[in-house]
Amino acid sequence: MLNRRILRAKAMQAIYAYTQAVESDYQLALDTIADTFVPDLNSMLPQDPKKLEGSRQWATLLFEEHYKAKAVSPDEDAPVEVRKAANYAINFFHAQCQKDAKYLEQSMIADAESIYDYYLLSLWLVTEVADQISVEEDEKRNRILKEAPLSSRALKLTKNQVVDSLRKSTTFQDKRIRSGIDKLLDPDLARHLLQELKKDAAYTAYQQLDTSTWEQDWQFITEVLKVIIFKSEPAVRFWEQLDSNWSGNEDIVRGMFNKTMQFVKEDPEGFSLQKLSADWDADRNFFQKLYKLCIEKFEEYETLIANKTANWDVERVAQVDKVILVMALAELLNYPSIPVKVSINEYIELSKVYSTPKSKQFVNGILDALAGDLSSQGVLKKSGRGLIDNK
């Protein structure tokens, strides 16, 4: 299940990606200027390379001076073609940044919401692998002229009681169908996973049982088949091709899978499925707003941070640390129901996982100083239960 800490991490990754995209967009904008003043070798008119290079440099200077204002100052005395090239680059830069910001926002939300599909898919794979045994046994029988009776052991996994609970769950089957995950599943995956399962000694031992208890069936699914579904070579290849961020999402999906298996054990017929989060509408609003605030006010918050890094060269501060500090400021200043201590601790934890070994102390020190200043200025406005002590 997603929680706010995971969502902060996903927002951080998207914001960091945006800062990298801005740098690329800046260079691309400069490239449009350079392309404008490249000598035209097909022109019948004489070309003056020195003049063109001078115009390129002038337009570049105008772009660098005015791109934040989003237009070249009208009182500039540059030639028309220079002003035109600079303005085009400025418009191009801001359009690209806006496009990247929207794309990364949508990708961030899609990445979070896709976790639920992968969770449903992992449960479905349990039944698919079990059903694959029936498929293979039918194929064997069709190759034999005289039909032979199937042994109960041959279909042991197919008749597993946990698998049967998943098959009979109308809630699970309804969500599975509505999610559209059918199109995500490689049609050959269940067969590959079954072949991997057959290599496991635990599978052979399980197949030798004439009958099995509910506990034995449950343990086989949770201790053996789960490993095949998530950790076997064909499974890892499938998940990584399906999800570019699988390394970050795998633990969440597996946690949801494990919790569901526990629910199945406690109530085989009426077990509950996991939710994506406790309140996805509220959580989506939380980290979508956080992302937008950081994109819109990155430079403003970066300036506040720079004022507290007198002993640090702000240009040499790790970019991840900058993003973490900007996010922390956005949360401190714009989420009145979240205590100051909670916000600071959350971003210290992010720095431990995603930044350098020294980042914890750096982030802690800067945020403590910023929170103290903002509190004394009366800027931090917290409200709600439990927020009397916000220092």
pLDDT attached to residue 48:
84
**Cβ(87)–Cβ(79) below 8 Å:** no
**In whole angstroms, what is the distance from residue 334 CA to residue 289 CA?**
9
Domain range for 312: 280-376
pTM comes to 0.88
Long-range contacts of residues 130-138, Cβ cutoff 8 Å, at least 24 apart: 130/157, 130/158, 130/160, 130/163, 131/158, 131/190, 132/190, 132/191, 132/193, 132/194, 133/157, 133/158, 133/194, 134/158, 135/191, 136/191, 136/194
Classify residue 384: in a domain, yes or no: no
| 131 and 254 assigned to the same domain | yes
| 128 and 257 assigned to the same domain | yes
Measured at the CA of 102, the angle between CA 96 and CA 108, to 5 degrees, comes to 130
**Domain closes at, from 47, 82, 107:** 107
**Domain closes at, from 107, 126, 153:** 107
* Number of domains composing the chain: 3
| 61 and 205 assigned to the same domain | no
| 118 and 262 assigned to the same domain | yes
| 115 and 101 assigned to the same domain | no
Long-range contacts of residues 85-92, Cβ cutoff 8 Å, at least 24 apart: 85/32, 85/33, 85/36, 85/37, 85/55, 85/59, 86/33, 86/59, 86/60, 86/62, 88/32, 88/36, 89/29, 89/30, 89/32, 89/33, 89/59, 89/63, 90/29, 90/63, 90/66, 92/28, 92/29, 92/32
**In whole angstroms, what is the distance from residue 391 CA to residue 339 CA?**
9
Give the other-Cβ count within 10 Å of 359's Cβ. Answer: 21
| 91 and 156 assigned to the same domain | no
Per-residue pLDDT of the chain (391 residues; tens, 9 = 90+): 999 999 999 999 999 999 999 999 999 999 999 999 998 767 667 778 899 999 999 999 999 999 999 999 888 889 999 999 999 999 999 999 999 999 999 999 999 999 999 999 999 999 999 999 887 776 666 665 555 554 556 678 999 999 999 999 999 999 999 999 989 988 899 999 999 999 999 999 998 888 899 999 999 999 999 999 999 999 999 999 999 999 999 999 999 999 999 999 999 999 999 999 999 999 999 999 999 999 999 999 998 888 877 665 555 578 999 999 999 999 999 999 999 999 999 999 999 999 888 889 999 999 999 999 898 888 887 765 545 444 4
**In whole angstroms, what is the distance from residue 315 CA to residue 33 CA?**
26
Classify residue 127: in a domain, yes or no: yes
**pLDDT tens profile 202-212:** 999 998 888 89
Classify residue 275: in a domain, yes or no: no
| 125 and 255 assigned to the same domain | yes
pLDDT attached to residue 391:
43
| 284 and 222 assigned to the same domain | no
pLDDT attached to residue 316:
59
| 93 and 117 assigned to the same domain | no
| 141 and 246 assigned to the same domain | yes
| 51 and 120 assigned to the same domain | no
DSSP labels, 130-172: HHHHHHHHHHHHHHSSS--PPPTTTTTTTT-HHHHHHHH-HHH
Classify residue 12: in a domain, yes or no: yes
Classify residue 273: in a domain, yes or no: no
pLDDT attached to residue 310:
65
